[in-house]
Structure 1
Amino acid sequence: MTQHLTILTGASRGMGLAMARQLLNADATLLCISRTAQPALTPLAEQAGTTLLQWTHDLADSAALGERLEVWLGTQAGTAWRSATLINNAGMIPPIVPLSEAKGADLAQALRVGLEAPMQLSAVFLRATKNWAATRRVLNISSGLGRRAMASQAAYCAAKAGMDHFTRCLALDEALKPNGAKVCSLAPGVIDTEMQLQLRGADDSDFPDRENFVRLKAGGQLSSPDEAARRVLAYLARPDFGRQPVADARE
């Protein structure tokens, strides 16, 4: 039991890509799930001696993805792993408009990627690994906007608030099991990613908080993806991980 298995969604860019790079080590197997593969990870994995798998899948179709993951986990020998971790990192911000102006398809996609997929994958992961002796963890990447309302952000705020609360429920479920998983919904802080560019590029008439995000960028108050990834993975490695089912990496 020397190998560590990590399943990471949204690994092709931003903080997800930074986490993937930092998870590449000789005793690791890393399964990345994103809409597109990230070719830059392949030579890094070979250099580090990491077993790297990259699945391309739209997280909005989480039921089919869950079935595929459950079959794959079922082929793994539970005794081979020292730890098994699921990191639900993928998320998206739909077009930034008031809810009354939002398109149904955009709302559905945002909620499927940001809330339904983490629930589906968590259910599959925990079910498929329930008899493993490995230390099991589920890390859901949340946001401060799951805990604070913002105009024109109803779908994103709702997905992250739902993520926080289903994690609380999941923690109660797992606490009743003899080898229950440790789970946490973690806000990583404000990160300089494409999502921030999307927020800063919104129309003032649609997004009254736009200027606040412009000031964060101008004031150098955004964490780099690498910095945020280090902070998140350090939190994941803490011996008390899971003691708080909803937390902030900056605390």
Structure 2
Amino acid sequence: MTASPHLTLLTGASRGMGRAMAEQLLDAGHDLLCLSRKPDEALAQHAGRAGRRLEQWAQDLSRAEAAAARLETWLTARGPEGLASVTLVNNAGVLPQIAPLGDVAAADLAQALRVDLEAPMLLAGAFLRATAAWPCERKLLNISSGLGRRAMASQAAYCAAKAGLDHFTRCVALEEAGRPQGAKVCSLAPGVIDTDMQVQLRGADPKRFADRASFQGLKDQGALSTPAEAAARVLAYLRRSDFGSNPVADVRD
């Protein structure tokens, strides 16, 4: 098993679109470092069949400061030797209780904001610091949502976190554009995907979530992408020659 010239760091790789992205990246010849709630033995076996290197960290991203410090140390020790590209994909996310803000427990709100916004910011900072002098191509991809660009009742924390993700990406893109070897940066909405989050939305109390029927309608109409389909579109966008030219984008654009 030889080292790949392409290294991808991926959060939330244990299920849904993240899991599909991990498999597709391994098949495309990337080495992976995955940060997920728990290691996935089936993914390790997939990496073995693909002849690729895979490291998995069991990581609680609500404790992002520790995760970011560990990532920075790991990247510094690894160095850029032999790499043509290094990419961080901030994919992990959680959906807090689906209810009006005043009905959601403070601990639930705090957990969601830590995982959905604080963790991507801290990991991105660690990634950019550790790789600042690396001569290879560097990319930062934040997985956003249409709800970061459209308000929805009973979704205040998730909408706010994704809007924050978009806007911090715009700021980082401006910063990196001024550097000699700046990273290419994008916050990308992946479309509507048939994942556990969609199950949560369809199963919400209609008395507390007025948009429940619209999410059920997407399922009934067959309008949801499979995780594998969504992963393929996201990775195709990541490979585009103009990746980063628009810091906030949508795969459907």
TM-score range, shorter chain: over 0.9
Alignment partner of 1:14 is 2:21: no
CA contact (8 A) 1:9 1:90 kept: yes
CA contact (8 A) 1:26 1:50 kept: no
What is the match of residue 82 of structure 2? 80
Q: TM-score of the superposition, structure 1-length normalised? A: 0.98
What is the match of residue 99 of structure 2? 97
Q: Distance in 2 between the 1:26 and 1:11 partners?
A: 16
Per-residue CA distance 1:189-208 (angstroms, 9 max, x = gap):
00000000000000001100
Q: Distance in 2 between the 1:2 and 1:88 partners?
A: 21
Mind listing any 5+ residue stretches in structure 1 that lack a counterpart?
none
> Would you say how many aligned residue pairs link Structure 1 and Structure 2?
251
Paired AA for residue 52 in structure 1: L
What is the match of residue 138 of structure 1? 140
Q: Distance in 1 between the 2:155 and 2:14 partners?
A: 24
Alignment partner of 1:188 is 2:190: yes
What is the match of residue 31 of structure 1? 33
Q: Distance in 2 between the 1:91 and 1:18 partners?
A: 15
Q: Distance in 2 between the 1:2 and 1:205 partners?
A: 51
What is the match of residue 219 of structure 1? 221
CA contact (8 A) 2:148 2:163 kept: yes
Give the 3 Å change call, closer, same or farther, for CA 216–26 of structure 1 in structure 2. closer
Paired AA for residue 38 in structure 2: T
Deviation beyond 2 Å, 4+ runs, structure 1: 25-28
DSSP-derived class of the 1:185 partner: strand
**How large is the Cα RMSD of the aligned pairs?**
1.1
Q: Distance in 1 between the 2:28 and 2:193 partners?
A: 28
Give the 3 Å change call, closer, same or farther, for CA 150–220 of structure 1 in structure 2. same
DSSP-derived class of the 2:48 partner: helix
CA contact (8 A) 1:170 1:183 kept: yes
DSSP-derived class of the 2:62 partner: coil
DSSP-derived class of the 1:95 partner: coil
CA contact (8 A) 1:79 1:133 kept: no
CA contact (8 A) 1:79 1:134 kept: no
Paired AA for residue 205 in structure 1: K
Q: Distance in 1 between the 2:143 and 2:116 partners?
A: 10
Q: Distance in 2 between the 1:209 and 1:25 partners?
A: 38
CA drift of 1:79 comes to 2.7
CA drift of 1:39 comes to 1.5
Q: TM-score of the superposition, structure 2-length normalised? A: 0.97
Q: Distance in 1 between the 2:191 and 2:184 partners?
A: 21
DSSP-derived class of the 2:84 partner: strand
Q: Distance in 2 between the 1:3 and 1:78 partners?
A: 10
Q: How does 1:1-251 map to 2 (within 5 A)?
A: 3-25=5-27, 27-251=29-253
Paired AA for residue 79 in structure 2: A
Q: Distance in 2 between the 1:77 and 1:100 partners?
A: 47
Q: Distance in 2 between the 1:79 and 1:197 partners?
A: 43
Mind listing any 5+ residue stretches in structure 2 that lack a counterpart?
none
Q: Distance in 2 between the 1:22 and 1:230 partners?
A: 8
Q: Distance in 2 between the 1:246 and 1:73 partners?
A: 26
DSSP-derived class of the 1:79 partner: coil
Q: Distance in 2 between the 1:25 and 1:194 partners?
A: 24
Paired AA for residue 8 in structure 1: L
